[in-house]
A and B are shown apart, each in its own frame.
Chain A
Amino acid sequence: MTNRILLIITLLGFFTAITANAQETIQKNGNTEKIKGTRFIPYPGYSGSPYLTDKFVVGEIEFLDGIKAGNLELRYSTYRDELIYYNAVISAQILIDKISLKGFSFTDDKGETRVFRRQYYIGLLHEERFFEVLSDGKVSLLVYRKVDLETCDTSYNKFGLAFQPSFYYYIYTADKGYSPIKMNRSSLLSKFSKPNQKLVKKMLRKNKVLIEDEHSFISAWNLIKDKEIEIIF
């Protein structure tokens, strides 16, 4: 009897798999939104890394219409603020058109999910940028992970050029825009009114959060975010 039940379950599973597979074939082959881009030309071999990750990592992109394409080999260029995708079918590194994307995400080698969102930046330069979302909510904590090409000692690099990280942190709301912030305690406190600063200090002290780096700043931010204390832009 058990064998029969098992047989029925196996057959049901088999038919379900066939149905799902047929639908998947048409979805994958004909009707998914296609990735648009140009061929990626590798950067010259200066010192440092122009990429956020050492190698291609598996990730997901989200198109403008909200459709997502997953299981892609992605690499984010912090130097040019570009997303590169490796297409194994045609063995090509493709620079995905930035304007075709809403954002992307991937899991880094530490197992952490990194989420990037394309947003229009109005500053000295007006441009579309990929911001990493460190904390999302009514007020988002974003970072623009820029790597600049700077001069260095020729003993360090024969061309005398090296990629130097130069990250820009912001707090952001859709109506108020961007407000720069630094990953330290005083910068965080400056975003609150005097009475609220005391509250924030107390909260950090109570939760034993010491702001030393990006990671601890995010922890502090998430702690304050939940209390909905007014933030000054």
Chain B
Amino acid sequence: MIRITIQIIKNKDFNVKRKLLILLLLFVTLAGKTQERKYFSLFTDRNLYTSGETLLFKIFGPENESSGIIHIDLINASGKKIVEINKKTTDHQADGFIYLPDSLSSGYYLLCTSTRNNPTLTFNQIYICNRFTGIPEAGTAIRSSETMIVAENQVNDLEIKGINKTSQTRSKVQATIHLPGKLLSQIKGNLWVSIAETISGYNSESFLKSIKPKEDQIVEKDGVILEGFVKDFKTGEPFKNGIVFLSIPDSIPRFNFYRTGSDGYFYFQFDNYYGKIPVVIQGLDPERKRLVKIVLNHQESVPAGISSFENWTVPPELRKIAAQNIDALTFRKIFNQQEITIQPGSRPKAEAYPFYGVPTSVIDPHPFIDLPDFTEISRELLPGVKFRAYNRIPSLQVLNSAMHAYFEDPPLLLIDGIPIHDLNIVKPLGSKDIDRVEICNGERFYGDLAFPGVVAIYTSKSNFSRIVESDDLIKFNLDVIQPAAQLNIPSEKLQNEPDLRKVLLWKPSLKPEETVRLDFETSDIRGSFKLLVRGTTSDGSVFYKEQIFEVN
């Protein structure tokens, strides 16, 4: 009996020990995790810009970031977004560019990096000088006075060789970066190397801010998410079970739809779309009884009070360099020297056939006599399509070839791939306005949507200008993922032109090797330049090494 009791106590002790061990391991794991960088590290090529220039940036994301899309916004001191960029990450890194609008007034601006789910925003402060007015005479500016500054580690054992303290203008330089074996084994992803003009004693700093992330938990993995809200036009309440159409006009138009839940929200993900794409969003009540209103969920500004600001006296040296920069930019504009070349972005593979199916017949009205309106066209040219306007009220019906009878309900009517419900839009279309008409005689299905036949009109202009925006229809150009860009290096043929580059080298994704060779040529710009090497290690921390040299 005593033996058994001792055994039980021993077992209990063992169980408690085991649990304590598990808890300890859990704690150690969590403690390890908390030390990982959870925010984005954002770096720009320079700190001082002139409006009309191009800003280059590089981002190192945290390892635990689930989102594959990063949003980079240029915002002014009042928090208003001026430029919005979306970048897709590769190995938790991204690089891109921002065209700084000519109209920007001189002052401090913030670059804000965010994702849908990350609760930490990373800000980077830059000074932009207006190219027409320069820095104001007042000599002061408002700048961020944030204290939660992001620190970095400079690695001393990383060597940069081949760069003299001074270099001649327009001279070729060969530099090498030597990575120590220990660091090389710890590096995660690619290295970022840049050589750009720097202003001594003037550095912009990054700072972090916490926000409440979106609660929907939807992750942007391969593309930008467009979200919005459908509400009842009269009551303003969220519209449940509303249908939202997304149309992307193209040679083969793309289409998608979303059925709203009780919250009225809709989401469309644009996987692997690059650049700017035309988009039409329509909302409708499937029973066609109530009117709906579409509201896109787009923030024009970052939350108020995101940063505190203070007055700052512009140093005279900055004013002098800003004036030189304006001159340099003016010359670059005169000689039409582009700072970067944008590489064409890919698009999702074209569909084999339109979403509404392979047409039963395709009619080109041009070989026939000119017909003045769509009533005549349907009567004379379109088989199985009945477009009539009795008492000036137009109606459209398509033949159901399987049943040898006309559908009672109107078909899916499209203009340049965009569904329309107002038949008056097509009524005035004559032969000259129409490129071709595609007809599907039969009931078509697309997901849960059923169409009693399809009439797809492709106009000669194919600019869907006939479709008018309304409460339930929004058309706009959507900025999706920004395509990659490359820094322009002037060719040797243009030796007679001034070379006014401020960025001599921009390699945002260099493969880390024991020895990395860098070949670059200095420009006609004299002053201080900084070679910067940055990367991340497997523990998520960002390291850097810099070397400053003068160009005379």
Real binding pair: yes
Q: Which of A29, A39, A92 has the most CB of B within 10 A?
A: A29
Distance in angstroms from A98 CB to nearest chain B CB is: 10
A89-B358 in contact (CB<8A): no
Chain A residue nearest to B403 in the complex (CB): A41
Q: Is the CB of A22 within 8 A of B218?
A: yes
Smallest CB–CB gap between A127 and chain B, Å? 15
Q: A2-B19, A29-B259, A36-B357 are in contact. Are A87 and B269 (CB under 8 A)?
A: no
* Inter-chain contact A23/B357, CB cutoff 8 Å: no
Query: Is A124 positioned at the interface, with any CB of B under 8 Å from its CB?
Result: no
- Complex CA gap A188/B236 in Å reads 72
B256 within 8 Å of A by Cβ? yes
Q: Are B443 and A39 in contact (CB under 8 A)?
A: yes
A35 at the interface (CB under 8 A from B): yes
Give chain B residues whose Cβ lies under 8 Å from the Cβ of A36: 355, 357, 444-446
Give Cα distance in the complex from A38 to B359, angstroms. Answer: 12
Q: In A32-77, which residues have CB < 8 Å from any B CB?
A: 34-39, 41, 64-65
Q: Report if A29-B258 is in contact (Cβ < 8 Å); known contacts: A38-B357, A97-B357.
A: yes
**Measured CA separation A153–B393 after assembly (Å):** 56
A72 → chain B, closest Cβ, in Å?
12
Interface residues on B, range: 35 or more
A5 at the interface (CB under 8 A from B): yes
Q: Take A22-B217, A23-B218, A99-B358 as given contacts and tell me if A92 and B259 are in contact as well, using a CB distance cutoff of 8 Å.
A: no
User: Is B98 in contact with chain A by the CB < 8 A criterion?
Assistant: no
If A89-B448, A94-B445 touch, whether A22 touches B355 (CB-CB below 8 Å) is no
Q: Are A5 and B267 in contact (CB under 8 A)?
A: no
For residue A30, CB closer than 8 A to chain B, the reply is yes
Give the docked Cα–Cα distance between A39 and B445 (Å): 7
A150 to chain B, nearest CB (A): 24
B355/A26 in contact, CB under 8 A:
no
For the complex, is B234 an interface residue (Cβ under 8 Å from A)?
Answer: no
| Nearest CB of chain A from residue B262's CB, rounded to whole Å | 12
A100 at the interface (CB under 8 A from B): yes
With the chains together, A126 CA to B258 CA distance in Å? 38
A30 in contact with B256 given A22-B216, A22-B217 (CB within 8 Å): yes
What is the CA–CA distance of A64 and B358 in the complex, to the nearest angstrom? 15
In the complex, whether B447 has a CB less than 8 A from a CB of chain A is yes
> Which residues of chain B come closer than 8 Å to A19, judged between CB atoms?
217
Q: Are B443 and A38 in contact (CB under 8 A)?
A: yes
Whether A41 and B402, one on each chain, are in contact in the complex, defined by CB atoms closer than 8 angstroms, is yes
Residues of B close to A30: CB separation below 8 A: 246, 256-258, 266-269
Is A18 an interface residue, CB under 8 A from the partner?
A: yes
Contacts of B266 in A (CB 8 A): 30
B9 at interface (Cβ–Cβ under 8 A)? no
Out of B218, B257, B353, B445, name the residue touching A35 (CB < 8 Å).
Answer: B445
Contact: B447 with A35, CB < 8 Å? yes
Considering the complex, give the chain A residue whose CB is closest to the CB of B219: A23
Residues of chain A within 8 A of B442, CB atoms compared: 38-39
Beta-carbon contact of A31 and B268 below 8 Å = yes
Is the C-beta of B271 less than 8 angstroms from some C-beta in chain A? yes
Main secondary structure of the interface of A (DSSP, over half): mixed
- Interchain nearest-CB distance for A3 vs B (Å): 11
- Cα(A19)–Cα(B442), bound, Å: 41
> Which chain B positions have C-beta within 8 A of A125?
none
Would you call A38 and B446 a contact (CB within 8 A)?
Answer: no
Query: Distance (Å) between the CB of B266 and the closest chain A CB?
Result: 7
Query: Which of B261, B358, B446 contacts A34 (CB under 8 A)?
Result: B446
- A90 x B450 contact (CB < 8 A): yes
Q: Once the chains are docked, how many angstroms separate the CA of A34 from the CA of B246?
A: 13
- A232 contacts the other chain (CB 8 A): no
**B268 contact set on A, CB distance < 8 A:** 30-31
Give chain A interface residues in 4-34, CB to chain B under 8 Å.
Answer: 5, 18-19, 22-23, 25-26, 29-31, 34
User: Which residues of B are found within 8 Å of A97, using beta-carbon distances?
Assistant: 353, 357-358
Report B530 CB to chain A, min CB distance, Å: 42
Contacts of B355 in A (CB 8 A): 34, 36
A31 contacts B447, C-beta separation under 8 Å: no
Chain B residues within 8 Å of A31, by CB: 256, 268-269, 271
Which chain A residues lie closer than 8 Å to B392 at the CB level?
A: none
How far is A87 from B447 in the complex, measured between Cα atoms in Å?
Answer: 9
Interface presence of B349 (CB below 8 A): yes
- Interface assignment of B352: CB less than 8 Å from any CB of chain A: yes
Q: Which chain A residues border B216 with CB–CB below 8 Å?
A: 22
Structural contact, A99 and B353, CB atoms closer than 8 A:
yes
Query: Considering only CB atoms, which chain B residue lies closest to A29 in the complex?
Result: B258
Expressed in whole angstroms, the minimum distance between the Cβ of B15 and any Cβ of chain A is: 9
A residues near B, CB below 8 A? Answer: 1-2, 5, 18-19, 22-23, 25-26, 29-31, 34-39, 41, 64-65, 87, 89-90, 92, 94, 97, 99-100
11 A-B pairs within 8 Å (CB atoms) are namely A5-B22, A23-B217, A23-B219, A30-B267, A34-B446, A38-B444, A39-B445, A65-B349, A89-B448, A90-B445, A97-B353
